[in-house]
Structure 1
Amino acid sequence: MVNGIIKKLGDDLVNNILVRFPVKSLIRLKCISKRWYTLIQSTTFIHLHLNYQTTIQHEFILFKHSIKEPNEFISILSFLSGDNDDGFNHLFPDINVTSMSSDFNATFYPLLGPCHGLIVLTDLTTIIIFNPATRNFRLIPPSPFGCPQGFHRSVEGIGFGFDSISKYYKIVRICEVFWNPWDGYPGPKETKIDVCDFSMDCWREVEHVNLPLIYWVPCAEMLYNEVVHWFATIDMSMIILCFDMCTEIFRNINIPDVCNNLTHKQYYGLVILRGCLTLISYPNPISPTDPINDKVHVWVMEDYGVSNSWILKNTIRVVPVESPLDVWKNSILLFQSKNGHLISYDINSNEEKEHILHGSPGSLSVIVYQEGLTSISPGSQNSSKVQNF
């Protein structure tokens, strides 16, 4: 009888019902009938479900941290929900991702994303794209572009996003190629831009004009409006370097004038706060702590791309900060403290919390995301297969 009733329901009504279900339930519901399987797998439904999840602001947290063992650092991914006010609940068992690289620095490299529910884990060489809701992942082949003997190719910046024109997910890398003698200072540097289209795992180099020098800090490689953002310097001035995933064109955005003095002991991070690109200015973590004068400033760009639209929204005092991490529930700033703990600060209530989540100082990375059914492209015939973790 139930099956008979289900069959009589129109697709629009079924869509309206199913978009309200979490991904875990939808995966089970695909087994009810061939019709429901086809419907839930369709691009139309995947977009409807993602839009609904974004509207209701049902957020999850991917938490990456490292733990120091006697002979190595262990890198761990934790999948969390934060539905209650007391803290975070673990959705799945933690995953040890240390084996993806033997590079010490990779242990401390942040996550990239989210983009339509997809997230990228990378050590700058190895790239893994995965969906934490469906638990699918795939290894992206490394860039084929090398450099002549005696030279070194260094990845200075990396970004992940979606091209809504080609409908491809892409990785972009800003690289510097330079002569690296064993007994001298590196020679002149040449900038190269690598782009990978995930649909065919195709790497290519992109033409560009002279680019400013990337200024790497944690929480800087931000995706917003299909544009990847980094910090960079021009003539001792800090700017935000932007790469449009659709046009593959670079441009610059100026930061607030009051922030733009590299002699000040300030660091910067980028987050999305209430739908706006937001600059977090905070004391340099390697400087001595000054409890009286150390403050965190929150600057919001009210008109995206217009440099004079920066507005100072908040000035706050928190425990000594290593770096900002992300924004949760549209008003809670997440930081890592200098001692490696996850800190939250609610800009509405001015409430600060230290959570039990922690890791080696400087190793924390957080992605706040909405669940999605977005599938991972299988790539080309020679690509690695989509797997489950």
Structure 2
Amino acid sequence: MAGKKITVVISQAPGRNPTKRNLEEELAAALLVESDVDVSLVPHLNDLTADHSGLLFLKGVPGDMVVLSWLFPRAARWILDRNGVKGQLGTSLLKPADEDEEAGTEAERAEESRPNAIGALNAPKRKIYCIDLRDQNDPRVVLDEIRRIAREATVQTVDLDLMSWIGGSPAPAQMQRYLNPFAPNGAPAVPANGHTPVAAPNGANRIHSSPFGLINGADLTGLPATPASGPAADDALRRRWYPIIDYSRCTNCMACIDFCLFGVYGVDAQDRILVEQQDNCKKGCPACSRVCPENAIIFPEHKTPAIAGADVERDANFKIDLSKLFGAPTAIEVAAAERDQELLNDGREAVGLSVGIPKRRTEQPQQRDQLDDLMDDLDKLGL
């Protein structure tokens, strides 16, 4: 009888930080001996290109999946969705060290209570769990959470009786490769998606693409290195900067396409907003995220958590900022300045607030925030 299994993907941190690499290695070594887990390594999610073998592998995962990355879970989820790796949001019990349980619950309710959001298209019933490795230094905590998720997984793996789901009319050679994935000498007959199937200690087949020769005493030097992950891949992959749309928040208001003057955004056949020319985006410029009224545009590499995909609202964890009391620029003004700088860098003219700022933003009263409440309280004191 087929057992329940879940795929765990470790998305490696960019660069060669030894602390991060060590955590990745410890997790990979421990997961290799788990009977109900298939584990694989891929490069940093944000840097994967459409034809990269790591992304091709992710698209081929059929069931529930746990993605361990060095990104906010919200950012990781929508990077995957943008690249065709779709699924329902899986809930992880791991939270950042500085986040209390009530805050996490409020964030989950906020996503569920957005009736005007257009949502993701064609998301299958399988679940994708995204875990931020920056939240935990102890691999045992992450492993315990993965085991918990694996116990709850509902996807059944199939036995070697593939005839029940192979469709079409495969050629005899193709059918033979399906039914006999291993050559007589025990070596894999055909690598799949750039990843080499490896016989696990318990006899289960699991995918592994580690470039490491030795992981915590486990000798992996017999495995061929693949272009999917590792230091060599870090050197080959260039760092990328482009916006990700969170469709669980996006209302298709088109504020981003009106504001951006670099041709980054477009619309699909259903007239839904999408990132059409991501390489046109100006590195380091998050201006369109600042003008989005729903905080639905994510730049995973930005230093500001709310822009990088932290699951918070713009006014969450509000702190008194005296600069706001003395006429500091608004988010819209900052965005316009950032856009003007990029226009000037391209030899074009600055446009300020004259282009891409809907008149309704200035004609209608702005929604009250906590700063307004603070000012009203100060007025009542008669100071």
TM over 0.5: no
- Could you say which structure has the higher strand fraction? 1
- Could you say which structure has the higher helix fraction? 2
TM-score bracket, shorter-length normalisation: under 0.3
- Which structure would you say has the larger Rg? 2
